[in-house]
Amino acid sequence: MSPGKPPDVIELAAKSTGLDDALSRRGFLVFSACAVSSLAALGLCEAFAANPPLVVLDNATGMILADPSRCVGCQRCELACTEFNEGLAQPSLARIKITRSLNFGPAGPTGGPDMHGTWGDGLVVQGVCRQCPHPVPCATACPENAIVSDPRTGARVVDTERCVGCRLCQQACPWDMMSFNEERQKASKCFLCNGKPKCVEACPSGALRFAPWRDITGEAPPTAGPQAARPTAKAKARVGNHAPAAKNPTHR
């Protein structure tokens, strides 16, 4: 650097890192360009993480269909579910929901007006996972991509290694069919027991059956009970893709 000449920023930076010859100066410029590119890539990664892509899952091969007119409210399906999946006789963790339609209090059945309960017309409306087609509300709402397609049945299943217990999937499901284990802080859902649903096997009245998959997301109203979580804005956007018809539901 000649006397009286203002210090060159790059030269000062090069000297501070020991890169003060001409070749090293060019190397420093290359290094700087790489650093800027790396920072830009990091910014893209952060943006990608904040706005994950839409999850696309293939349709399931089967599903559980329920007939409320046959249900006797024995809850054997819930017990069979939790014994198989959790090793516990704990209906609150069941992937099929009977208790919320059977139990009631001053406000009526906990499932709301769409879940008839024992203060309605006597029907116990079984809550079953619809194994939604794309876009799958629970999977799309999950920030960790923890809800994937079971390679054996195509059923949507929670990868507990990825699940962080944020409960966004619960908020996203229009039928409130996600379960949450408070002790483990993990979400869970029906994955059809690897193609042999234990609830179907345990039902004494033939109120449940395992059938080939079809889209029934528009045939039954959503659960709108006081116990259901309120969807976030992100979850509502996903749920809108599965807005079910409120009239003439098939499974009531």
pTM exceeds cut of 0.85:
no
End-to-end CA distance of the chain: 86
- What average pLDDT does this structure show over 114-122? 55
Q: pLDDT-derived band of residue 101, with 50, 70 and 90 as boundaries? A: confident
37 vs 191, higher pLDDT: 191
Report whether pLDDT(205) > 90.
yes
- Which residues are CB-neighbours of 68 under 8 A, at least 6 positions away? 116, 123, 124, 125, 126, 207, 251, 252
Encode pLDDT of 31-55 as tens digits: 666 665 665 556 544 544 555 556 6
Q: Hunting for tokens 């409120």 — which residue is that?
A: 246
Report strand pairing: 62-66 vs 104-105.
unpaired
**% of residues, the chain, pLDDT over 70:** 57
Q: What DSSP letter does each residue of 189-229 carry, written as one string? A: ---GGGGS-HHHHH-SSS-EEEEE----TTTSPPP--TTSP
More confident residue, 31 or 86: 86
Answer yes or no: are the C-beta atoms of 7 and 20 closer than 8 Å. no
How open is the CA angle 86-92-98, to the nearest 5 degrees?
115
pLDDT of residue 34: 62
For 20-29, how does the pLDDT look when each residue is reduced to its tens digit (9 = 90+)?
555 455 665 6
Give the highest mean pLDDT range of 18-22, 102-106, 143-147. 143-147
**Is the model's pLDDT at 108 over the cut of 70?**
no
CATH classification (class only), 62-242: alpha beta
